[in-house]
Amino acid sequence: MSAQALHKRLVAGGSSVGLSTVYRTLTALAEAGRADIFRDSNGERLFRHRPGPDHRHYLICTECGLSLPVESGPVEKWAERIARTSGFADVRHAVEVSGRCPDCRPKDDQARTP
């Protein structure tokens, strides 16, 4: 969800919270590991609740925003190796895998996929 969409919901529900407060709060949640940030096809930052402390990677639909967790063991091992061999500390990484989900793909495109 975007900060603007969340702000709109809050205001519709009677809250007087400002948009900048929503941005700051969502960013703080991401920094605390309670939300993930990713970008949509227009480059807008979207925020997704992180249900636990584990770092996850997702396959994200660029049309509807559906996100599915994916197995990411090789990515995690690669990031750990880079951190270990570079001498850097507090190394973080973000990997985005995106495309169009089956519901958003054109039907003729789906027919060609085995």
Per-residue pLDDT for the chain (114 aa), expressed as one digit of tens each?
Answer: 899 999 999 999 999 999 999 999 999 998 888 888 877 778 888 888 887 777 778 888 888 888 888 888 898 899 999 999 999 988 888 787 889 999 998 866 655 555
Q: How far is CA 13 from CA 2, 10, 25, in A?
A: 17, 5, 18
pTM of the model as a whole: 0.58
Going by C-alpha positions, the residue among 29, 44, 36 that lies closest to residue 21 is 29
